[in-house]
Amino acid sequence: MRPLTAITLALALLAVFSACTNPFAPEEGGVTGDLWDPQTSIGGMLRNFQTAYTLRDSLRYADLIAEEFVFQFFDANENRYDQWYRDTELRTTGALMRSFELLDLRWGPIPTSLDTFSRPDTTVEFTINFTLSAGDFSPIAGFARFQTRAGDDSRFRIVQWRDDY
C-alpha cells in the first residue's frame, strides 16, 4: 500500500468513527448536577419525590419507595380506608406519569428539623401538606402522612403513606 493511500484510508476511517460519536452526549452516569438530591435526608427524599413527579420519571420515583411500602387511602364508595402495596403503587404512579404532560407537585413548608434529618435506622413519621396539579384538572390539595426510613445505603425511602384529605 502506498503511503498516500494508507493516509487517505486512515483519515476516512477516522471520519467514519468520529461521526458515530455525539459530542453533545453526556458521559455514561454523568450530568446529574443539582437536579437530584443524594436522598440522605428527609428533605432530600421529598425534593427527589417532587422532581420525579415534575419530570415524570418513574424509575427515580421507584427508588423512593421501600420494598415493604404500604399506601393507605380513603375509599369513598366503600366509606372506609383501603390500601395497596409497592407493585400497585409503582404501576399506578407510572400510569399517572404517562397520562399527563404536566404534573406539578408542591409540598408545603418542610420544617428544618425534617429537612435536615439524616439519622439512619430510624423510622420517622410526619405529615406534610401538598398540592398536585395534573394537566387541565383542578389541583388536588391534601395531607400526606409518611413513615420513612434510611436503609443500609443511608438513603431515605417511604415505608408507609397515608392520604388524609
Within a domain: residue 67?
Answer: yes
Q: Which residues pair with 140 in a beta bridge?
A: 132
* Residue-level pLDDT at 120: 87
Mean pLDDT by 10 residues, the chain (165 residues): 54 49 50 79 97 96 98 94 97 97 95 94 94 93 96 95 89
Instruction: Give the pLDDT confidence of 40-84 residue by residue, as tens digits.
Output: 999 999 999 999 999 999 999 999 999 999 999 999 999 999 999
In three-state secondary structure terms, 103 is: strand
Q: 99 is in which domain, residue-wise?
A: 38-164
Query: What CATH number has the domain bearing residue 66?
Result: 3.10.450.50
Contacts of 24 (CB under 8 A, 6+ apart): none
Report whether 111 contacts 139 (CB < 8 A): no
Within a domain: residue 25?
Answer: no
* Model pTM score: 0.78
- E-strand stretches of 46-123: 65-75, 80-85, 103-107
Within a domain: residue 53?
Answer: yes
Report whether 148 contacts 41 (CB < 8 A): no
Within a domain: residue 120?
Answer: yes
Q: Which residues pair with 134 in a beta bridge?
A: 103
Domain count, the chain: 1
Q: How many CB atoms lie within 10 A of CB 39?
A: 23
**Nearest Cα to 103, choosing from 94, 116, 91?**
94
C-alpha to C-alpha distance for 23 and 16, rounded to whole angstroms: 14
Within a domain: residue 7?
Answer: no
C-alpha to C-alpha distance for 55 and 157, rounded to whole angstroms: 19
Between the alpha carbon of residue 44 and those of residues 36, 74, 80, the distances in Å are 8, 28, 33
* Residue-level pLDDT at 24: 47
